[in-house]
């Protein structure tokens, strides 16, 4: 079964390749969505895919790439506003 999840990642997650790390993990797991920097220093991540794959990526994001420090990820369920799930993973 597929699920969507939106997370707000706080810590030292901008300027340390966190979004690229997220994309690499998501693509490898067959998960679509996006990662984008927010003006308050956090990164917004949306993951969409098979539940186990989403869990796998979400767990990897707790560590992040070298140089990152993840203090917290606040997750919530996510559904596409237009009913159409993302078809790839993009960095915004």
> Is 12 tagged catalytic?
no
In sign, the C-alpha dihedral spanning 67, 7, 85, 30 is positive
Helix (H, G, I), strand (E, B) or coil at 78: coil
Determine which one of 12, 23, 36, 37 is catalytic: 37
Determine which one of 5, 12, 19, 25 is catalytic: 19
Backbone phi, psi, residue 15, to 5° = 80, 15
> Is 37 tagged catalytic?
yes
Catalytically active residues, by annotation: 19, 37
């Amino acid at each position: 079964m597929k699920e969507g999840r939106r997370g707000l990642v706080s810590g030292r997650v901008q300027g340390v390749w966190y979004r690229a790390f997220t994309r690499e993990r998501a693509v490898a797991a067959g998960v679509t969505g996006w990662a984008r920097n927010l003006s308050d220093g956090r990164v917004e991540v949306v993951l969409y895919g098979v539940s186990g794959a989403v869990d796998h990526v979400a767990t990897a994001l707790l560590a992040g790439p070298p140089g990152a420090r993840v203090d917290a990820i606040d997750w919530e369920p996510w559904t596409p506003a237009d009913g159409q799930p993302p078809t790839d993973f993009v960095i915004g």
